[in-house]
Amino acid sequence: MANDTRDPVPTANTQSGNDTTERRSIRGEGGETHQTPTGKTDRLTTSQGIPVSDNQNSLKAGSRGPVLMEDFHFREKMFHFDHERIPERVVHARGYGAHGYFETTDAIPELTSAHLLQKKGRKVPAFVRFSTVAGSKGSVDLARDARGFAVKLYTEDGNWDIVGNNIPVFFIQDAMKFPDLVHSVKEAPDRAFPQAQSAHDNFWDFISLMPEAMHMIMWTMSDRAIPRSFRFMEGFGVHTFRLVNAEGQSHFVKFHWKPKQGLQSVLWDEAVKINGADPDFHRRDLWEAINRGDYPEWELGIQVFDEAFADKFEFDILDATKLIPEEDVPIRIVGRLVLDRVVDNFFSETEQVAFCTQNIVPGVDFTNDPLLQGRNFSYLDTQIKRLGGPNFTHIPINAPKCPFHHFQQDGHMAMHGPSGRANYEPNSWTEGGPRADPEAGFRSYPEEVSGEKRKVRAELFADHYSQARQFYESQTDIEQGHIADAIVFELSKVETLVIRERLVAHLPNINKDLAQKVADGLGLKKMPKAHEPARPVVDGLAQSPALSILANPPKSFAGRKLGVLLTDGIDDSLVAGLEEAVQAAGGIVEYIAMAVGGIETSEGRHIEAQQKIDGAPSVLYDAVTVIATQEGVDELKRMHPAKCFAADAFAHAKFIGLAGAGKALFEAAGITETDGGMINLDETDAKEFVSACADLRFWDRLK
Residue scoring higher pLDDT (423 or 588): 588
So what's the pLDDT on residue 439?
85
For the purposes of burial, counting CB atoms within 10 Å of the CB of 23, is it exposed (0-12), middle (13-18) or buried (19 or more)? middle
Question: Does the predicted model carry a pTM greater than 0.75?
Answer: yes
The overall average pLDDT reported for the chain is: 92
Give the model's pLDDT for residue 466: 98
Give the best-scoring range by mean pLDDT among 80-84, 149-153, 440-444: 149-153
Q: Does the pLDDT of residue 29 top 70, yes or no?
A: no
Decide if pLDDT at 31 tops 50. Answer: no
What percent of the chain has pLDDT above 70?
A: 94
Catalytic residues: 92, 165
Where exactly are the structural domains of the chain? 88-193+228-394, 561-702
How much is the average pLDDT of 556-580? 96
Residue 363, CA distances (Å) to 75, 171, 358, 650 in order: 28, 29, 14, 52
Q: Give pLDDT tens digits for 691-700.
A: 999 999 999 9
What residues have CB less than 8 Å from 194, skipping those under 6 apart? 187, 200
pLDDT band at 48 (very low <50, low <70, confident <90, very high): confident
Task: Give the percent of the chain with pLDDT over 90.
Answer: 80
Q: Choose among 303, 304, 361, 341: nearest CA to 153.
A: 361
The pLDDT of residue 630 is: 97
- What value does the mean pLDDT take over residues 449-477? 96
Q: What is the pLDDT of residues 196-241, one digit of tens each?
A: 999 999 999 999 999 999 999 999 999 999 999 999 999 999 999 9
Read off the pLDDT of each residue in 537-547 and give the average, rounded to a whole number: 94
pLDDT at 267 over 60: yes
Q: Looking at domain 88-193+228-394, which CATH architecture does it have?
A: Beta Barrel (2.40)
Q: Is the pLDDT of residue 526 over 80?
A: yes
**193 and 199 in contact (C-beta within 8 Å)?**
no
Q: What is the structure's pLDDT at 39?
A: 55
Using the 8-state DSSP alphabet, how is residue 265 labeled? Answer: B
- pLDDT (tens digit per residue) in 327-366: 999 999 999 999 999 999 999 999 999 999 999 999 999 9
Range of weakest confidence among 412-416, 473-477, 660-664: 412-416
Give the model's pLDDT for residue 300: 98
Q: What are the tens digits of pLDDT across the range 419-453?
A: 889 988 899 998 888 888 888 889 899 999 999 99
Query: Residue 651: is its pLDDT beyond 90?
Result: yes
Instruction: Supply the pLDDT for residue 412.
Output: 84
- Left if phi > 0, otherwise alpha if psi is -120 to 50, otherwise beta: which for 420? left
* Burial per residue of 511-534, b for 16 or more beta-carbon CB atoms within 10 angstroms, e otherwise: beebbbbbbebbebeebbebbebb
Which helix (H) or strand (E) segment is 378 a member of? Answer: helix 370-386
- In CATH terms, the fold of domain 561-702 is Rossmann fold (3.40.50)
Asked whether the predicted pLDDT for residue 585 surpasses 60, the reply is yes
pLDDT at res. 155: 95
**Of 56-65, 68-77, 83-92, 320-329, where does mean pLDDT reach its minimum?**
83-92
The answer on pLDDT for 7 being more than 70 is no
pLDDT 10s digits, 601-613: 999 999 999 999 9
In tens, the pLDDT along 681-690 reads 999 999 999 9
Res 8: pLDDT: 38
